[in-house]
Amino acid sequence: MRKRSHRSRAGVALAAAAVLGLAACDASGGEESSPRSTTTQPKPSPRPSPLWDRYPGSIAAVGDSITRGFDACTVLSDCPEVSWATGSDAHVDSLAVRLLGASGASLNSWNFAVTGARMSDLAAQMEQAAQRKPELVTVMAGANDACRSTVSAMTSVTDFRAQFKEAMDALRGELPRTQVYVSSVPNLKRLWSQGRTSPIGKQVWKLGICPSMLGNADALDAAATDRRAKVQARVEAYNRVLKDVCGKDRRCRFDGNAVFDYRFGTDQLSQWDWFHPSRNGQARLAEIAYRTITAKDPVT
DSSP states of 114-127: -TT--GGGHHHHHH
Supply φ then ψ for residue 230, to 5 degrees.
Answer: -70, -40
pTM (two decimals): 0.83
Burial class (CB in 10 A: 0-12, 13-18, 19+), 21: exposed
> Each residue of 91-128: b (16+ CB within 10 Å) or e?
ebbbbbbbbbeeeebeebbbbbbbbebbbbbbbebbbe
Give 69-110 pLDDT, tens digit per residue: 999 999 889 999 999 999 999 999 999 999 999 999 999 999
Which residues are registered as beta bridge partners of 59?
109, 136
Question: Could you tell me which residues come within 8 angstroms of residue 152 by beta carbon, excluding any fewer than 6 positions away?
Answer: none
Give the up-direction half-sphere exposure of residue 17: CA atoms within 13 A in the CB hemisphere: 6
Give the up-direction half-sphere exposure of residue 58: CA atoms within 13 A in the CB hemisphere: 12
Identify the structural domains of the chain with CATH numbers, from first to last: 59-294 (3.40.50.1110)
Give 219-269 pLDDT, tens digit per residue: 999 999 999 999 999 999 999 999 999 999 999 999 999 999 999 999 999
Check pLDDT > 70 for residue 188: yes
Task: Tell which residue, 166, 83, 153, 173, has the closest CA to residue 120.
Answer: 166
Give 150-174 pLDDT, tens digit per residue: 999 999 999 999 999 999 999 999 9
